[in-house]
């Protein structure tokens, strides 16, 4: 998982590559410019760019802007900027000026172009004074985009790069990672919701190789033929998000909001909620291989999926991870046990029923002009609004594992309360195909390891509770009630939990003068898995 996270970090380097472009387009959005290219227009862009920098840094004027035909040439001198930062804990060499061309369109949008190379070396000292040296290089990067000042973001963009490499070395660890080619595309369109936008992005990173060695473990190499990703956001409040960014920027020095500022903030938030209708991201690695001194392995594919959707008063956040054709060859796993290693995995789960609409309403009622310091109570109130009744709903539409000796699927849902004194409920369906083959495999292992005889006996006992589906698979429908009772296929195998000794029983509770029950109930039954 740590290496998968590192892969995501490398993907996100594209945002670092576009940092200079982001500052440039923001400057264009903060000043009114005529469509005609002129020296005056160049000075407006230059002044806006330098105004975004700290005052002592802006004095060196790292930005230069000049008219060039039908467009502006914008140069950002990184080396000049970094020369203003004097510190013994960090140094960087090899920075070259970043050049971008900006062309105003009759529509009010801007065309952007850039072609850049990068080859830098640097070092930094950590809190413990440990030195880390790193290099970052890109053989070639081409960027084209259409920028919309109304939202301070790109309506579309195309980025391609080749020869990406990152190395990092310290006394304890050495990392060398590279990609062959990178392609990234972004498009947008008007959303079905008036005034909102939809964004879609996709890309491919080819020939990934990462080598890691450290004092704590033997060298390891991770590689993949390609990494593909897609992302989609619908109903994005892009214009309102820009207003929020500008609002925060303009009041960054204020310790407390005035009543007028609070009114303005709530006006922006009122238009912005919900910030988006849905969000979906998918990442897939193809032909993954891992080699090390202790063994090797891999998978034909590894996948990750994240999704947020549903109405604002019943939103679901879902995640999924899968692997296909998994292999492992290691002396750490005895040959007799290799058949029990999963060859395919599919894990899907989500948290549903979240009421972001109520959370937004509660946010609008807050007083931002005073500081009560009661952050803990505010956090508790937020949880109560986000999760109605303080109930957490978790569903797992599919959790499956398959090898040559087993094939198991689990699906269901769970409800639990943030109040630990209340019970939880679980409804799950467990399906096992070729279950007799699984029992036989465990019995064969037990011949060499007698301790597994108990496991074999347990598997046979469990089979006694199973229902047989028409295709011969064994099924167990398991229900855990909020009172602690457990049933399998409708047959209770455990009764309710005994009441705690310090809790009063119902006949000990005096009737209330106000009459009627308290209204506090156990969590309701689970919903069907998606």
Cα separation, 487 vs 464, in Å, equals 14
One domain, residues 261 and 375: no
Domain count across the chain: 2
Q: Is the pLDDT of residue 518 over 70?
A: no
What pLDDT, on the 0 to 100 scale, is given for residue 298?
Answer: 96
Cα separation, 277 vs 314, in Å, equals 12
One domain, residues 308 and 337: yes
Q: Which of 455, 287, 267, 266 is nearest to 367 (CA)?
A: 266
| Range from 25-39, 97-111, 218-232, 328-342 carrying the lowest mean pLDDT | 25-39
What pLDDT, on the 0 to 100 scale, is given for residue 76?
Answer: 85
What letter does residue 25 receive in the DSSP assignment? H
Q: What is the pLDDT averaged over residues 299-306? A: 97
The range of the structural domain enclosing residue 265 comes to 237-276
Q: Which two tokens stand for residue 8?
A: 């995501």
Q: What is the dihedral of CA 92, 184, 323, 210, to 10 degrees?
A: -20
One domain, residues 298 and 260: no
On whether residue 137 sits in a domain, the answer given is no
Q: How confident is the model at residue 316 (pLDDT cuts 50, 70, 90)?
A: very high
449-478 confidence digits (pLDDT tens): 888 899 999 999 999 999 999 999 999 999
Q: Which of 237, 246, 315, 243 is nearest to 274 (CA)?
A: 237
236-263 confidence digits (pLDDT tens): 999 999 888 888 877 777 777 888 888 8
User: By the 8 A CB rule, do 221 and 210 touch?
Assistant: yes
What pLDDT, on the 0 to 100 scale, is given for residue 444?
Answer: 93
Q: How confident is the model at residue 360 (pLDDT cuts 50, 70, 90)?
A: confident
What letter does residue 155 receive in the DSSP assignment? E
Residue bearing the bigger pLDDT, 22 or 453: 453
DSSP string, 172-240: SEEEEEEEEEEEEEEEEEE-SSTT-EEEEEEEEEEEEEEEEEETTEEEEEEEEEEEEEEEEEEEE-HHH
- Chosen domain end from 246, 276, 306: 276
Q: How confident is the model at residue 1 (pLDDT cuts 50, 70, 90)?
A: very low
Q: How confident is the model at residue 499 (pLDDT cuts 50, 70, 90)?
A: confident
Q: Is 151 helix (H, G, I), strand (E, B) or coil?
A: coil
Of all residues in the chain, the percent with pLDDT exceeding 90 is 51
Q: What is the mean pLDDT of the chain?
A: 84
Q: What is the pLDDT averaged over residues 57-74? A: 84
One domain, residues 331 and 480: yes
Q: Which two tokens stand for residue 433?
A: 């195909």
Q: Is the pLDDT of residue 352 over 90?
A: yes
3-13 confidence digits (pLDDT tens): 444 444 444 44
On whether residue 100 sits in a domain, the answer given is no
On whether residue 334 sits in a domain, the answer given is yes
One domain, residues 404 and 291: yes
Q: Are strands 474-480 and 486-488 parallel, antiparallel or unpaired?
A: antiparallel
Q: Is the pLDDT of residue 17 over 70?
A: no
On whether residue 175 sits in a domain, the answer given is no
| Range from 173-187, 297-311, 329-343 carrying the lowest mean pLDDT | 329-343
One domain, residues 292 and 272: no
One domain, residues 398 and 267: no
What letter does residue 138 receive in the DSSP assignment? E
One domain, residues 262 and 308: no
pTM tops 0.85, yes or no: no
Cα distances (angstroms) measured from residue 269 to each of 28, 275, 315, 359: 25, 9, 19, 12
On whether residue 127 sits in a domain, the answer given is no
121-157 CB burial, b ≥16 within 10 A, e <16: ebeeeeeeeeebebbbbbeebebebbbbbebbbbbbb
The strand pairing partners of 424, in sequence order, are 416
One domain, residues 503 and 522: yes
Q: Residue 340: phi, psi to the nearest 5?
A: -90, -5
What pLDDT, on the 0 to 100 scale, is given for residue 149?
Answer: 83
Cα separation, 136 vs 276, in Å, equals 35
Indicate if the alpha-carbon torsion angle 451, 453, 454, 456 is positive or negative. positive
One domain, residues 475 and 524: yes
């Amino acid at each position: 998982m740590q290496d998968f996270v590192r892969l995501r970090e490398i993907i996100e380097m594209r945002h670092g590559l576009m940092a200079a472009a982001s500052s440039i387009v923001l400057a264009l959005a903060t000043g009114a410019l005529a469509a005609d290219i002129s020296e005056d227009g160049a000075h407006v862009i230059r002044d806006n760019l330098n105004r975004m920098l700290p005052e002592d840094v802006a004095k060196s004027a790292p930005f230069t802007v000049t008219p060039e035909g039908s467009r502006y040439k914008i140069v950002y001198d990184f080396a000049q900027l970094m020369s203003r930062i004097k510190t013994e804990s960090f140094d960087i060499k090899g920075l070259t000026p970043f050049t971008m061309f900006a062309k105003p369109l009759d529509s009010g949008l801007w065309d952007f172009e850039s072609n850049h190379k990068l080859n830098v070396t640097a070092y930094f000292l950590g809190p413990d004074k440990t030195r880390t040296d790193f290099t970052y290089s890109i053989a070639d990067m081409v960027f084209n985009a259409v920028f919309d000042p109304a939202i301070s973001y790109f309506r579309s963009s195309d980025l391609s790069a080749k020869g990406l490499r990152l190395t990092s070395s310290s006394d304890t660890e050495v990392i060398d990672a590279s990609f062959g080619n990178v392609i990234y595309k972004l498009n947008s369109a008007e959303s079905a919701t008036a005034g909102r936008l939809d964004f879609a992005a996709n890309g491919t990173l080819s020939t990934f190789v990462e080598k890691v060695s450290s004092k704590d473990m033997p060298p390891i190499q991770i590689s993949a033929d390609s990494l593909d990703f897609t992302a989609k956001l619908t109903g994005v409040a892009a214009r309102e998000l820009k207003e929020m960014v500008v609002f925060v920027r303009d009041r960054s020095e204020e310790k407390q909001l005035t009543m007028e500022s609070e009114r303005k903030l709530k006006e922006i938030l009122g238009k912005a909620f919900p910030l988006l209708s849905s969000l979906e991201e998918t990442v897939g690695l193809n032909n993954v291989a891992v080699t090390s001194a202790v063994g090797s392995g891999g998978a034909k594919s590894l996948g990750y999926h994240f999704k947020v959707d549903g109405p604002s008063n019943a939103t679901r956040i879902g995640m999924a991870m899968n692997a296909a054709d998994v292999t492992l060859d290691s002396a750490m796993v005895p040959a007799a046990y290799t058949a029990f290693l999963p060859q395919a995995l599919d894990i899907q789960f989500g948290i549903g029923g979240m009421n972001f609409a109520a959370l937004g309403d509660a946010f609008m009622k807050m007083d931002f002009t005073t500081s009560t310091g009661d952050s803990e109570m505010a956090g508790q109130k937020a949880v109560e609004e986000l999760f109605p009744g303080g109930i957490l709903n978790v569903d797992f539409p599919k959790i499956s594992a398959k090898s040559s000796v087993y094939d198991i699927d689990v699906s269901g849902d769970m409800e639990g309360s943030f109040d630990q004194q209340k019970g939880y409920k679980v409804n799950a369906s467990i399906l096992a195909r070729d279950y007799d083959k699984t029992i036989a495999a465990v019995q064969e292992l037990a011949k060499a390891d007698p301790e597994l005889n108990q496991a074999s006996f347990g598997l046979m006992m469990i089979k006694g509770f199973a229902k047989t589906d028409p295709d011969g698979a064994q099924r167990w429908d398991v229900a855990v009630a909020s009172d602690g009772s457990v049933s399998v296929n409708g047959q209770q195998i455990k009764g309710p939990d005994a009441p705690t000794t310090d809790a009063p029983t119902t006949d000990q509770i005096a009737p209330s003068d106000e009459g009627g029950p308290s209204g506090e109930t156990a969590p309701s039954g689970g919903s069907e898995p998606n």
